[in-house]
A and B are shown apart, each in its own frame.
Chain A
Amino acid sequence: MNYVIRRLQAFPLVLVGVSVVVFIAIRLVPGDSITAMLGTEAGLLTPQQRDSLAIYFGIDQPWPVQYWRWFTGLFSGDLGISVTYGKPVLTVILERFPLTLELALLSMLIALSIGVPAGVYAATRNERPADLGVRIAAMIGQSTPSFVVGLVLIYILSAGFGVLPTMGVFTPFWQDPLQNLGQMILPAITLGLAFAASVTRVSRSAMLDVLSDDYVRTARSKGAPERRVIWRHALPNALVPVVTLSGIEFGYLLGGAVIVEQIYALPGLGRMVLEAILQRDYALVQGAVLFIALNFMIVNLLVDLAYAALDPRIRLEGR
């Protein structure tokens, strides 16, 4: 319990750090947000109109004042107004987040359902051709960038089957589950394959470690069937590093998968931040990065806790 409290105490400090860095960084981007928002029309603005817009978005003040305003706003859930969307930042983020969350969950599902069985299978056939095959496949999978997987998948679909994946639209799961899955399956596979490759590698080596443990030998010598030994005795312990890996990866995916979202034209969190940076949408970039960093830290904390829960030998207090 003490450990959780101590970790939680570090949260505000890191978050303040992140907020300061992103606040300054986004203001270092050349150009101003009003010009970026209106494009060529910005030239038609009178100086007075420009000033009143700046006042409306709060970017007329000196930086420290702007930061303080924004920072104190955070405590009442006010992340400011997005210049590009003309809506509160939190609303914009929460509109995009379900897609990113679903994509992360689906890719993790794909990764675990391929990776764990493949890793276990390879470990039970250690150094035999089947093991070698799985290892080579996993190594190649881990070395293939997601955008290569994505482009090749699109190519196979369009050239081989004459179909193009639906792009640019997103139907929430609760509106039409089937249509939603149809839109999400390719991006999820794209992200899931490399993820599955690392899960395979980690579950294989963890399984190999566990299989040479004494208690597994005991179970075998008692005459337990091999399948039971592997799935009931060995696997739960071998899953500890798999949980850590998937947790960390999941944390990254919650930050949005910029490139995959770009390939499939999905309105997710990653692409939103990319566009917000290019549009100099100060408030949106600040809010989104803070949101992503907070998610990342929460997921990491949960991973550490799960780690301790799965393996009672690990004591978190000492760290």
Chain B
Amino acid sequence: MIHTPNVDWFALSPSLALLCAGGISLLGAVLVPRRARRPFGATVCAFGFAAAIVAAALLYAFSPDGHGVISGAIQRDRLFALAAMIIAGSGFLSVWVSATEPMPDDHIAEYYALLAWAGAGMAFLVSASSLITLFLGLEWFSIALYILCAIDVELVGSLEAGLKYLIVGGFGSAMLLFGSALVYGATGALRFGEIASAVSAQNLSHDALLVTGLALMIGGLGFKASAAPFHMWTPDVYEGAPTPVTAFMSGATKTAALVLTLRVLVTAFPQEARLWTIAIAVLACASLAVGNLAALVQTGVKRMLAYSSISQAGFMLIAIASNNALGGRALLYYLIPYSAMSIGSFAVVAARERELNEPVTVERLSGFGWERPLLGVSLSVFMLGFAGFPFTGGFVGKFYVFAAAYEHGWIWLVIVGLAATAVSLYYYLGIVRALFMRPSAELQLAQVAPVAGGSPPPERLLQVGVTAALVVTVGSFFAVEPLIEAAKQAADVLF
């Protein structure tokens, strides 16, 4: 007889809500008339993400102390709940961005289904507390994203993006799986807590198998978080994928990957802290260097944002490398404005893409700020937020990250971070410069009527999404206390 563990359905509720939403919107492909498919899918998907936010909020409220459920395969705690909220929030915003994307109607139901399922996988991943669920969650959302990247077959580069992501992502998954196998081989344990106790019980902290496994796992997670030197897929995939998908990936994938990295390293490998803090710090420095320097020379806005997301990953890795409560808090806080800024800026790019009907370069943003003040001001605020200017959550996030590094005693990491910030100003302010300070005259010619056939889709929905992102970005600066308190509660389960 097979022993079945007790299943805590409540702990799974964010993922379940999203799975249901995905299923329903997939049914829409056969049951709903073609015309209504797009609004139907978007609505169902939005409700799914909203339900996931509510479920995660309830989980947060009712899980004051963390404990393993389903025989320790997943962890029900506030870290998971807060991360699931950020992921579901990112998904919710992405639906608003997707709603007006001129995509062919053929695959619209699948699109929303996959979006919800990817969200479900990420929400599951952040709760993982064993090597099996870790891999399961990772593949779950990755496979959904592979297809999402390639879903718009008429878009130049979309297929290529999907394929590239599939191959490189597959490589990353393989690394992670191999690393997990080595760790299991060394310790004989699958659950994170048991790995830690096995290491201390058997005095394995210098075991070659274990350390190699750890290194491979960090590499595999680095692929998903797009940390240098595992970043090379990022610019191509971000550029090629449909912009709403890019928006979702940049916000939610990074949240899932980074939160999971924090959880694995802190709960499973506390004895190896001396090794992995340095490894993560090196990854952080590499990401900051590669992301910032490469972003300087980009002309395409999506590529530039892709490199900027690599450098932002570098900042958040500093928080993980600090390996202290302040670092955990910094990471969870930073993810909130970061996701909003990231999705918001890709949303504005999507709007401009639609106007021009071709890829957006920095040049082609000239004068956009005066033509469309709401989008222009929002994009400027997002850029200033990435650069860490006050009155955006990005400032407070960076401040906490540096504070965490300082508390760990790594002033050199603070200096590296500040130098990276200084470099990043050039390209972030370059966008503001293009938006407001360059004349737009010669560009009017390039404008093409959006979407062949039919009236342009209503911009309102996208504007709502951008405004929401703006509110989160600016609001998180003023409402630091409640957000940091939530992040503190979440991070305290680890430290």
Are A and B a genuine interacting pair, yes or no? Answer: no
Name B residues whose Cβ lies closer than 8 Å to a Cβ of A.
Answer: none
